Amino acid sequence: MHIGVITLFPQMLDALRCGGITARALERGLLQLSTWNPRDFTHNKHRRVDDRPYGGGPGMVMQVQPLRTAIQMAISVLGQDTHVIYLSPQGRRFDQNGVQTLLNYPRLLMVAGRYEGIDERLIEQDIDEEWSIGDYVLSGGELAAMVIIDALIRWLPQALGHQESATTDSFYNGLLDHPHYTRPEELAGQKVPAILLSGNHAQIARWRHKQALGKTWRRCPQLLEQLELTAEQQQLLTE
Ligand code: ADE
């Protein structure tokens, strides 16, 4: 997969290279990450990329030309079939279904806006889709791009070590994750559930499944509505 990001602050994306699963995936070339800075494509002396909004009001708006040229440069490198997305609070909400949707695009270009946003004509003409990571306003699209990239990387073949698995994460199978424990066995009276020390793998799997179902039912009941529970799951929920 090759992901490009159009950003005024390309160094922000370096956080993905700091460590952990994302750094490893980038080092091993499972994901190629490239950035383009619209400031490099301005035609004015002060390398300005923004201007005041027509109709008045606070803040500045990112102009079409530098962004459009940056997008075109990126597409000339990534390929004509690149899927171009713009990150904004007005976009489609990113969730686990969104992860699977965006994984279908081997070449993805993310446009991170700043200020009050980007000129609407760019969204109409140059952007395929708008995505949001939640109902709140960030100072720019970079963190949203990084959230999405991190979530996608977990699903790239070989990105996770064998001891980590995307298929046991929360939201796989539509459920939240079960609780986790590690040593010590007892901490100021707080004990690890005995079943986890039993060595009975079938019973442990059953207990974890029940915990995951219960937590999902309490915290995100809407997730359960989207699932067709098996007879076994219904039984676990009522026990
Ligand atoms: N840019 C600013 N806020 C955002 C959000 N909530 N999601 C995606 N991009 C954004």
Q: Give me the half-sphere count of Cα atoms (radius 13 Å) on the Cβ side of residue 167.
A: 5
Q: Domain for residue 142, yes or no?
A: yes
**Lookup result for tokens 């529970």:** 229
Residue 123 CA, ligand 1 centroid: distance in Å: 15
* 8, 75: one domain: yes
**136 CA: nearest ligand 1 atom:** 6
- Domain final residue pick, 95, 122, 153: 153
Which among 95, 116, 129, 130 is annotated as catalytic?
Answer: 116
Residue 137 pLDDT level (bands cut at 50, 70, 90): very high
3-state SS of 82-136 is: CEEEEEEEEEEECCHHHHHHHCCCCEEEEEECCCCCECHHHHHHHCCEEEECCCC
Residues 40 and 114 in one domain: yes
Residue 45 confidence class, pLDDT cut points 50, 70, 90: very high
User: What's residue 162's pLDDT?
Assistant: 66
C-beta of residue 158 within 8 angstroms of C-beta of residue 21: no
Q: How many domains would you assign to the chain? A: 2
Range of the domain at 143: 2-153
Of 99, 121, 153, the one marking the end of a domain is 153
The predicted model gives 51-76 an average pLDDT of 97
* Cα 28 to middle of ligand 1, angstroms: 29
For a ligand 1 pocket test, name from 7, 132, 142 the mutation site with the most ligand atoms within 8 angstroms of its C-beta: 132
**Do both 42 and 136 map to the same domain?**
yes
75-131 pLDDT per residue, tens:
999 999 999 999 999 999 999 999 999 999 999 999 999 989 999 999 999 999 999
Q: Are residues 176 and 115 in the same domain?
A: no
C-alpha dist (Å) from residue 56 to 48, 59, 61, 62, 137: 19, 9, 11, 15, 21
Query: How many angstroms separate the CA atoms of 101 and 120, rounded?
Result: 24
- Give a yes or no: residue 229 inside a domain: yes
Segment 158-184 shows an average pLDDT of: 85
51 annotated active-site: no
131 and 24 assigned to the same domain: yes
Q: Are strands 32-36 and 50-51 parallel, antiparallel or unpaired?
A: unpaired
Ligand 1 proximity of 63 Cβ (cutoff 6 Å): no
Q: Identify whether residues 133 and 231 lie together within a single domain.
A: no
Same domain, 221 and 175: yes
Q: Considering the domain boundaries, does residue 162 fall inside one?
A: no
Q: Does 223 contact ligand 1 (Cβ within 6 A)?
A: no
Whether 191 maps to a domain, the answer reads yes
Shared domain check, 120 and 193? no
Identify the domain boundary among 103, 122, 153: 153
Q: Read off the pLDDT of each residue in 4-32 and give the average, rounded to a whole number.
A: 97
Choose, from 95, 129, 130, 169, the residue flagged as catalytic: 169
Q: Is residue 163 part of a domain?
A: no
User: Residues 41, 121: one domain?
Assistant: yes
What's the CATH code of the domain at 118? 3.40.1280.10
For helices 142-153 and 20-27, what crossing angle results, to 10°?
80
Q: Which pLDDT belongs to residue 32?
A: 98
Residues 44 and 118 in one domain: yes
Q: 144 CA to middle of ligand 1, Å?
A: 6
Q: 34-43, 76-85, 167-176 — which is least confidently predicted?
A: 167-176
Asked whether residue 160 is assigned to any structural domain, the reply reads no
Residue 159 lies in a domain: no
Ligand 1 near 130 CB (within 6 A): no
The DSSP symbol for 177 reads P
* CATH code for position 199: 1.10.1270.20
The encoded tokens of residue 72 equal 């075109």
Model confidence, pTM: 0.94
Domain membership of residue 158 (yes or no) is no
148, two tokens:
């999405």
Are 113 and 15 members of one domain?
Answer: yes
Q: Is the pLDDT of residue 165 over 90?
A: no
